[in-house]
Amino acid sequence: MMSRPSSSASLPAFGHGPHDSSYALLSRRNSEFGSRYIQVDDSGVYLSSLVVTVLVSAIATIGILLFTLVVTLSVMLGSCQGQPIAVSADTHMRAVRSCDSFILNEEVNNVQGWVVSEQCKSHVADYMRGGQYYIDFAGAINAASDYLRTVPAQGDGLDVVVMDIDETALSNMPYYAEHNYGAELFNETVWDEWVYQQKGLPLHATLDLFNQLKDANIGVIFLTGRPENQRNVTSANLIAAGYEGWTELSLRLPGENGMTAIDYKSQRRLQYEKKGYRVWSSLGDQWSDLMGPAAGARTFKLPNPMYYIF
Amino acid sequence: MMSRPSSSASLPAFGHGPHDSSYALLSRRNSEFGSRYIQVDDSGVYLSSLVVTVLVSAIATIGILLFTLVVTLSVMLGSCQGQPIAVSADTHMRAVRSCDSFILNEEVNNVQGWVVSEQCKSHVADYMRGGQYYIDFAGAINAASDYLRTVPAQGDGLDVVVMDIDETALSNMPYYAEHNYGAELFNETVWDEWVYQQKGLPLHATLDLFNQLKDANIGVIFLTGRPENQRNVTSANLIAAGYEGWTELSLRLPGENGMTAIDYKSQRRLQYEKKGYRVWSSLGDQWSDLMGPAAGARTFKLPNPMYYIF
């Protein structure tokens, strides 16, 4: 039996009790609290209440911090994995793939007379708003631009390109954003109100091509399905969008209302050829802008997954 | 000053020293180890070495576990975020978007005479192998199928659909898998070797349509750019793939070698119409299968981002 009347607290060390070197640490000998003697084992550790408090607090703090970290990381991991690999990922992927397929097949005219389906309406909206539409559009205009650079224009004002207006020279995105990007049936009255507002936006790739053609002495004939009584608003909208100095602006006469777009546009192109114009190319977002006679040596299909016109 | 000669170890409690109720816990009074007396503060805690060992071990274990968990979660989070949102994600997305744009614009014939670029070759390979090709292909065949159901066939064997063979009725995917999915220049000798192996695979959507047409008394005329001297191997490959009972198999004669695909195929179709056939539709993976006279009321463009034929 050993007695150490002057010993005091020491930090806990693995197993074998206090050593002399640690005696001074946190010693409270002669403190204001009284002191007493207790019987201890040879290998025990005595901790003052302050040390216990500090230790327990430290452990608790570290524990809380680690716990918080674990929870935070788990939540981050969950949200990170949750987005692309959600429970419905497979269904979602199938919908995306079949809506991608819809876009490809409507663009090559395999499917005709369609209205954007419920299934694909958000996909079409994403395509239009997310930038892919403009990338595809620019790709088409670049191809047209490359071809039209090879045209041997004679400088007599008779070399022309025939261009559609809506979704070709002017974008009606604000209108279609309000009408489900095509996923609702066309309402002519509401559409006409939009046309009279003259708020169609320039499609900059087309505007650049338009100016390139002017510089190359190639004229542009705008050929639109819009009716003749919208000539002034259409002209004003084109000018506001930056188009200046087109060769002709062709609108549908009352007598041409019953015709399909293909017939109306083909006949107009034939009339222009009769006048002496050389139509090198046709550009449009609809196949009805590009089919039939006198469409030129090359035609260029601009993307439009929102609506289809016969 | 108080003396407690018989006191022993107790678990640490916040602050205020041992209580009688905890004395018995882990008591080692009269143990084989000797005991001694130490001077203690009124509010201290005495821990035996076993308790200290257990406590420290427990804290260490929990600490290690939590640390491991934090590291694991961090690594998982890192790899989760690393894949889609990598440093080069923006560059990658731009490449994907412009390769998607290439596919759309080559499919609508805006770009012509192309060879798959270095930039897009892995994208085209993914498109072909990843299933989107077959989804798009089936979408095109479904559209054709829907249209051809409306044809009023007369049952005299003269109602026909004109179909291309390669990438329309037969898939040459094994060949193109070995030749970079089109991202290398066409080698006619190597291609001919492949043709003689008769390993073209059935495109099942087309085979289903072929059988649907047979049931509806609509014949199929296969019209291919393959040369006449490949008649037997081509015929054998079609039969091996499941096609049985076509109306005509039309191959290119030596005299037609200099012609463009459009001219050769148009002239053949006109010859068939002269014979009395009614061509309702043309199907092919190339625009040269679908352009020119006598292609029918509707044509269907099957996807093929691997090669382009004039």
pLDDT tens, residue by residue, B73-107: 766 665 555 444 444 678 888 899 999 999 999 99
What is the pLDDT averaged over residues A180-184? Answer: 94
pLDDT band at A241; cut points 50, 70, 90: very high
Task: Give the chain B residue whose CA is nearest to the CA of A65.
Answer: B66
- Residue B117 CA to chain centroid, in angstroms? 20
B contacts of A16 (beta carbons < 8 Å):
49
Indicate whether A203 pLDDT > 90: yes
Inter-residue contact B249 to B274 (CB < 8 Å)? no
Q: Which of A10-14, A118-122, B249-253, B297-301 has the lowest mean pLDDT?
A: A10-14
pLDDT band at B4; cut points 50, 70, 90: very low
Nearest by CB to residue B39, choosing from A7, A76, A300, is A7
Sequence-distant (≥ 6) Cβ neighbours of residue A100 within 8 angstroms: A123, B132, B135, B136
Mutate which of A16, A30, A36, A310 to test chain B, going by most B C-beta atoms within 10 A?
A36
Inter-residue contact A103 to A182 (CB < 8 Å)? no
| B72/chain A closest Cα distance in angstroms | 10
What is the pLDDT averaged over residues B238-264? Answer: 97
Inter-residue contact B255 to B271 (CB < 8 Å)? no
- The chain-wide mean pLDDT, for chain B, equals 86
Task: Give the chain A residue whose CA is nearest to the CA of B281.
Answer: A110
Query: Residue ranges of the domains in chain B?
Result: 20-80, 90-301
What is the pLDDT averaged over residues B45-59? Answer: 73
Contact flag B15-A52 (C-beta cutoff 8 Å): yes
Nearest one of A299, A309, A122, A284 to B110, comparing CA atoms: A299
Q: Which residues pair with B159 in a beta bridge?
A: B278
Contact flag A107-B107 (C-beta cutoff 8 Å): yes
B contacts of A2 (beta carbons < 8 Å):
34, 36
Q: Which residues pair with A4 in a beta bridge?
A: B38
Inter-residue contact A229 to A198 (CB < 8 Å)? no
B contacts of A70 (beta carbons < 8 Å):
66, 69-70, 73
Task: Give the chain B residue whose CA is nearest to the CA of A62.
Answer: B63
> Which pLDDT does position B76 carry in this prediction?
67
Task: Return the residue matching tokens 């009688």.
Answer: B20
> Which pLDDT does position A88 carry in this prediction?
67
| A293/chain B closest Cα distance in angstroms | 12
Q: Which residues pair with A3 in a beta bridge?
A: B37
Q: How far apart are CA B173 and CA B164, in angstroms?
A: 16
> Which pLDDT does position A59 carry in this prediction?
74
Query: What's the 3-state SS for chain A?
Result: CCEECCCCCCCCCCCCCCCHHHCCCCCCCCCCCCEEEEEEECCCEEECHHHHHHHHHHHHHHHHHHHHHHHHHHHHHHHHHHCCCCCCHHHHHHHHHHHHHHHHHHHCCCCCCCCCCCCCHHHHHHHHHCCHHHHHHHHHHHHHHHHHCCCCCCCCCCEEEEECCECCCEECHHHHHCCHHHCCCCCHHHHHHHHHHCCCEECHHHHHHHHHHHHCCCEEEEEEEEEHHHHHHHHHHHHHCCCCCCCEEEEECHHHCCCCHHHHHHHHHHHHHHCCCEEEEEEECCHHHCCCCCCCCEEEECCCCCCCCC
Indicate whether B262 pLDDT > 70: yes
Task: Give the chain A residue whose CA is nearest to the CA of B60.
Answer: A59
| DSSP secondary structure letter of residue B200 | P
> Which pLDDT does position A42 carry in this prediction?
56
Q: How far apart are CA A261 and CA A291, in angstroms?
A: 10
pLDDT band at B42; cut points 50, 70, 90: low
Interface contacts (A, B; CB < 8 Å) = 249
| Position B254, amino acid | P
- Hey, what are A94's tokens? 């199938």
> Which pLDDT does position A79 carry in this prediction?
57
Inter-residue contact A34 to B1 (CB < 8 Å)? yes
> pLDDT per residue over B184-208, tens digit each?
989 999 999 999 999 999 999 999 9
> Which pLDDT does position A46 carry in this prediction?
67
Indicate whether B57 pLDDT > 70: yes
Q: How far apart are CA A126 and CA A133, in angstroms?
A: 9
What is the pLDDT averaged over residues B120-137? Answer: 97
Helices B89-107/A89-107 angle, 10° precision: 40
> Which pLDDT does position A178 carry in this prediction?
96
Q: How far apart are CA B161 and CA B55, in angstroms?
A: 85
Indicate whether A280 pLDDT > 90: yes
Indicate whether B128 pLDDT > 70: yes
Q: How far apart are CA B26 and CA A41, in angstroms?
A: 12
A contacts of B140 (beta carbons < 8 Å):
105, 108, 110
Cα-based angle A88, A89, A90 (whole degrees, multiple of 5)? 95
Contact flag B107-A104 (C-beta cutoff 8 Å): yes
Q: How far apart are the first and last CA of chain A?
A: 109
pLDDT band at A47; cut points 50, 70, 90: low
Contact flag A46-B43 (C-beta cutoff 8 Å): no
3-state SS, residue B5? coil
> Which pLDDT does position B31 carry in this prediction?
43
**C-alpha atoms less than 13 angstroms from C-alpha of B4 in its C-beta half-sphere:** 17
> pLDDT per residue over A4-21, tens digit each?
444 444 444 444 444 444
| DSSP secondary structure letter of residue B286 | S
Indicate whether A297 pLDDT > 80: yes
The correct answer on CATH 3.40.50.720 for the domain covering B90-301 is no
A contacts of B3 (beta carbons < 8 Å):
36-37
Indicate whether B231 pLDDT > 70: yes
Indicate whether B14 pLDDT > 90: no
B contacts of A56 (beta carbons < 8 Å):
12, 14
Indicate whether A242 pLDDT > 60: yes
Q: Which residues of A194-219 are buried (b: 16+ CB within 10 A; e: fewer)?
A: bbeebebebbebbbbbbeebbeeebb
Please report, rounded to a whole number, the percentage of residues in chain B having pLDDT higher than 70.
80
Contact flag B56-A16 (C-beta cutoff 8 Å): no
Nearest one of A134, A233, A226, A121 to A177, comparing CA atoms: A121
* Reported CATH class of domain A94-301: alpha beta
What is the pLDDT averaged over residues B134-138? Answer: 98
Q: How far apart are CA B90 and CA B256, in angstroms?
A: 49
**Listed ranges A16-25, A67-76, B108-117; the one with the highest mean pLDDT:** B108-117
Contact flag B47-A43 (C-beta cutoff 8 Å): no
Task: Return the residue matching tokens 């829907």.
Answer: B146
Mutate which of A3, A81, A99, A101 to test chain B, going by most B C-beta atoms within 10 A?
A101
Indicate whether A30 pLDDT > 90: no
Please report, rounded to a whole number, the percentage of residues in chain A having pLDDT higher than 90.
68
Q: How far is CA B174 from CA A218, B14, B201, B242, in A?
A: 47, 76, 9, 18
What is the pLDDT averaged over residues B155-182? Answer: 97
What is the pLDDT averaged over residues A288-308? Answer: 98
Indicate whether B263 pLDDT > 80: yes
What is the pLDDT averaged over residues A68-72? Answer: 75
Q: How far apart are CA B277 and CA B270, in angstroms?
A: 9
Nearest by CB to residue A73, choosing from B62, B73, B131, is B73
Backbone angles phi, psi at B271, to 5 degrees: -60, -40
What is the pLDDT averaged over residues A257-272? Answer: 97
What is the pLDDT averaged over residues B118-125? Answer: 96
pLDDT: is B84 or B57 the higher one? Answer: B57
pLDDT band at B5; cut points 50, 70, 90: very low
Q: How far apart are CA A270 and CA B230, in angstroms?
A: 43
Rg (CA), chain A: 39
| B276/chain A closest Cα distance in angstroms | 25
- Hey, what are B269's tokens? 């179709």
Q: Which residues pair with A201 in a beta bridge?
A: A171
Nearest by CB to residue A73, choosing from B77, B97, B298, is B77
> Which pLDDT does position A269 carry in this prediction?
98
pLDDT band at B63; cut points 50, 70, 90: confident
Contact flag B12-A39 (C-beta cutoff 8 Å): no
In the sheet that B35-41 helps form, which strands lie side by side, from edge to edge?
A: A3-4, B35-41, A35-41, B2-4
